[in-house]
């Protein structure tokens, strides 16, 4: 359940609706959030492509790329709950709650064997930095009406239901193979073999 709350099919449409509304109303946080989302997304994508396509990772840290769930959760949920909470102290509590939710989502990737500690922590740190830079416009910055936030979350929920078979990881794998020209993507076992060979 926690991992599903970090699904990009839910969070990216939610963020897109909120950013579109914020830009339309000329709110400063919307421009920052849009830029930060793009930067974080590109950093995560680059780390995954580097490993899947060319095998570039860190064997000793069991690192094969930043966790997308951790990064997207950390950059979206704090901002969403900040917008939902209102101004002043409530806004700060919203940010804190969003970060705690993102930590829980990031941790959920470990028991599922989807990521290592280094990938989860790295993804969270990158995403949280993007969220905090966005929110640094000030706790008293203009906010959207709560109805916008609820509507954006509802729109985000509709996407996984409408396209349950769409998985961004498979798209990234295919892109990595296309760019690198490899027939099969690199996997974690390859990284572990490389680490064992280097220690002999």
Contacts of 54 (CB under 8 A, 6+ apart): 180, 186
Q: Is it the case that residue 77 has pLDDT exceeding 90?
A: yes
Instruction: State residue 141's pLDDT score.
Output: 64
* pLDDT score, position 166: 64
Confidence category of residue 168, pLDDT binned at 50, 70, 90? confident
Closest CA to 144 of 61, 8, 6, 24: 24
* Mean pLDDT computed over 190-199: 64
**CA angle (78 as vertex; 75, 79 as ends), nearest 5:** 80
Q: Bigger pLDDT: 197 or 119? A: 119
Instruction: Kindly state the percentage of the chain with pLDDT values over 70.
Output: 91
Q: What CA–CA distances, in Å, run from 23 to 16, 56, 68, 144?
A: 10, 38, 25, 11
Q: What CA–CA distance (Å, rounded) separates 130 from 128? A: 5
Cα–Cα distance measured from residue 72 to residue 79, given in angstroms and rounded to the nearest whole number: 11
Rounded Cα distance between 113 and 24, Å, is 41
> What pLDDT is recorded for position 138?
66
How confident is residue 17, by pLDDT bands cut at 50, 70 and 90? very high
Please state the rounded mean pLDDT for residues 128-155: 83
E-strand stretches of the chain:
none
First to last CA, the chain: 42
Query: Per-residue confidence at 183, pLDDT binned at 50, 70, 90?
Result: confident
Across the chain, mean pLDDT equals: 89
Q: What pLDDT is stored for residue 137 in this prediction?
A: 75
Q: What angle do CA 9, 15, 16 make, to 5 degrees?
A: 90
DSSP code string of 89-144? HHHHHHHHHHHHHHHHHHHHTTTTTS--HHHHHHHHHHHHHHHHHHHTT-TTS---
Closest alpha carbon to 93 in 105, 81, 104? 81
Please state, in angstroms and rounded to a whole number, the distance separating the CA atoms of residues 4 and 11.
10
Q: For position 15, what pLDDT does the model report?
A: 96
At 147 the pLDDT is 85
Q: Which pLDDT value is given to residue 198?
A: 58
Average confidence (pLDDT) over 71-76: 98
Q: Which residue has the higher pLDDT, 43 or 194?
A: 43
CA distance 74 to 52: 23
Residue 178 — very low, low, confident or very high, per pLDDT cuts 50/70/90? very high
Instruction: Tell me if 131 sits within 8 A of 74, measured CB to CB.
Output: yes
For residue 127 the two structure tokens come to 């995403």
**0.75 surpassed by pTM:** yes
């Amino acid at each position: 359940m926690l991992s599903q709350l970090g699904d990009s099919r839910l969070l990216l449409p939610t963020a897109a609706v909120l950013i579109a509304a914020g830009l339309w109303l000329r709110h400063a946080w919307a421009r920052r959030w849009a830029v930060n989302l793009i930067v974080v997304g590109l950093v995560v994508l680059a780390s995954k492509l580097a490993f899947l396509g060319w095998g570039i990772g860190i064997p000793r840290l069991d690192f094969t790329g930043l966790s997308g769930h951790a990064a997207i959760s950390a950059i979206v949920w704090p901002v969403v709950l900040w917008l939902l909470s209102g101004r002043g102290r409530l806004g700060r509590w919203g940010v804190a709650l969003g970060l705690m939710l993102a930590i829980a989502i990031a941790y959920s990737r470990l028991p599922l064997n989807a990521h290592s500690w280094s990938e989860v922590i790295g993804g969270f740190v990158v995403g949280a930095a993007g969220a905090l830079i966005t929110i640094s416009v000030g706790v008293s910055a203009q906010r959207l009406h709560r109805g916008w936030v609820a509507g954006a979350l509802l729109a985000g929920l509709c996407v996984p239901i409408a396209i349950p078979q769409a998985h961004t990881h498979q798209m990234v794998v295919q892109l990595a193979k296309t760019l690198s020209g490899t027939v099969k993507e690199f996997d974690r076992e390859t990284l572990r073999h490389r680490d064992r060979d280097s220690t002999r």
